[in-house]
Amino acid sequence: MADLKDFAEQLVNLTVKEVNELADILKEEYGIEPAAAAVAVAGGAAAGGGDAAEEKTEFDVILKAAGGSKLAVVKLVKELTGLGLKDAKELVDGAPKAVKEGVAKDEAEALKAQLEEAGAEVELK
Whether 11 contacts 44, CB under 8 Å: yes
Instruction: Report the chain's C-alpha Rg in angstroms.
Output: 18
Question: Is pTM, for the whole model, over 0.85?
Answer: no
* Average of per-residue pLDDT across 24-51: 60
Q: CA torsion, points 17, 73, 79, 13, in degrees to nearest 10? A: 10
State pLDDT tens for residues 62-105. 888 888 888 888 888 888 888 888 888 888 888 888 888 888 88
Cα(47)–Cα(25) distance, integer angstroms: 23
Cα(61)–Cα(43) distance, integer angstroms: 25
